[in-house]
Every structure is written in structure tokens, then in C-alpha cells.
Amino acid sequence: MVIRKYFLGTKLFLPTCFLLPLTAALLSASGVGALADDHGWVVLIGPEGPTGLIGAPKNGLAADAKLAENGRGLKPLPGKGVVVTRRNLVSKQKFGDCRVHLEFMIGGRSNSGVKLQRRYEIQLYDSHGRENPTARDCGGIYPHWKFGPGRLDYLDEGVPPTVNAAKPAGQWQTLEIVFRAPRFDQQGEMTKNARFESVVLNGQLIHKDVELESPTGRTPHPLGETAEDALYLQGDHGPVAFRNVKVYPLE
């Protein structure tokens, strides 16, 4: 399966005026990677909390989280090992080919996402029980869009998950991703598109071998495609919690 391209620009590091210019500066200035465990995983959120992330709120560290009484928010429980956030989180380390493991919890009607290389998004959404899920539901590869008059105009349907594997809001869910980064020749021209080799949500395979001809999401001013970049966890579209977030670089 191939996701179509809606804009030009496959050179390295195409400048953007939309997505996290400040974060990009922090990434380049940091030079500090996350801790790696004994099995080669780079731990971004572990038992001690966020060891490999930029942007984690100090007051969002918790031992667990539960759905608030209003059914929408998430209430942090005292302790550490869980990050409850309404901010975007970005890894200090950059990755190319990789395997990603993370656990997440979303509030009612909440909207989040996991972006490989800050460009290629798997949607996280409160869509448990929905028949015929779309790419804007949990596990979807997000569609391309642009700003319309007072709304978002979607240019395609993205790639829906093959099955709705989402759990209800307020429950912990598990996401496993195998991602292959785009390839470039010595002149910096892209020779092979990025690809989701597999995506597994709560133990169910929802994507297999999906080629990405361009970054997902907003089409004007996209980030230029690159061999390595950070993992991005969206938190500014509603309450979300993350735990056990780690990345395994693949050769």
C-alpha cells in the first residue's frame, strides 16, 4: 500500500514555519541521548519517569492515571513512571529504522498521536467500539490536510486500521511499531520512501507494509524528509498519559 504525495520537497531538512521550530533547535543543541537498557532499547519513559524526552511537564509525573469524574480528563496518581500531559513531547535522540513500544491512556473524546521522525503519524483517539474506523480513529495513519475557511480540508482518507482494536478511554493501551526510514543517495536525493513495516495495537495487527510517499498531516510547509529524526508524542489535543516508552534502533 502506498500513501500518495501531495507536495514537492524531498530534500534533507526542508525548513518549516509550522512544526516545532523551537524543538528542532533544542534537539540540535541537546546532544544528549536517552538511557539505553540492557537489551539495546532506548528508554524515553521508564520506571523513573521521562529520561529521554524534551517537554515533559514537571507536574505531570505520576505512578498511574485514571479517568476523571467528568469522563474527559485524566487524574494523575502520586508517584513516578507515568507522564500525564497536555504538551507535546519529543525525544532527545534521533532515530532512523526503529521499533517503538509504548503504552498510552487517553481521556474521553481525547485526540493524540505518535509521529515517527516527527513526520509520520499513527493516530491515538477515543474511538473504542466504532464500526468501520477511519484513519482519524485510533490506529489510523493520519490523512493529509490543509486549512480551509474555519475548518480542516482533508485531501485523502489516510489509511484506516484494518480492525478497531482501541480500548475505552481511561484504560491503558499498547502500541508496537516497526518503522523504516526513507533512504537517500550521496547527493541527498531520496531513493526510497518511508514505510510502516507493521503496527500492532493491543495485540492486533492493524497495518502491514504501508509505504509513505510524504509526511502525513498538514500539506503546506511540511518538514523535509530525512534519514533520522526524533520521536514525537502529541499532547496538545487533549489529556493523554504515556508509560513504558522505548525505541530500539534497527540496522
In a domain, 157, yes or no: yes
For the chain, list residues with pLDDT below 70: 1-33, 38, 220-221
Evaluate whether 103 touches 241 at the Cβ level (below 8 Å).
Answer: no
User: Is residue 11 domain-resident?
Assistant: yes
Is 173 contained in some domain? yes
Identify the domain containing residue 188 by its residue range.
Answer: 2-34+87-240
DSSP code per residue over 9-27: --STT---SSS-HHHHHHH
42 falls within a domain:
no
Q: Which grid coordinates are listed for 230? A: 526524533
40 belongs to a structural domain: no
Determine, yes or no, domain membership for 100.
yes
Residue 60, domain member (yes or no)? no
- On whether residue 137 sits in a domain, the answer given is yes
- Edge to edge, the sheet with strand 89-95 lists 53-54, 89-95, 229-234, 111-116, 120-125
Q: What is the pLDDT of residue 3?
A: 58
Q: What are phi and psi of 169, to 5 degrees?
A: -55, 145
**pLDDT for position 156:** 87
CATH of the domain at 115: 2.60.120.560
pTM of the predicted structure, to 2 decimals: 0.86
What confidence tens digit (pLDDT) does each residue in 104-149 have? Answer: 999 999 999 999 999 999 999 999 999 999 999 999 999 988 888 8
Element (H, E) at 116: strand 111-116
Give CA separation, 39 vs 35, 47, 49, 179, 243, in Å.
11, 16, 19, 19, 18
- Count of structural domains within the chain: 1
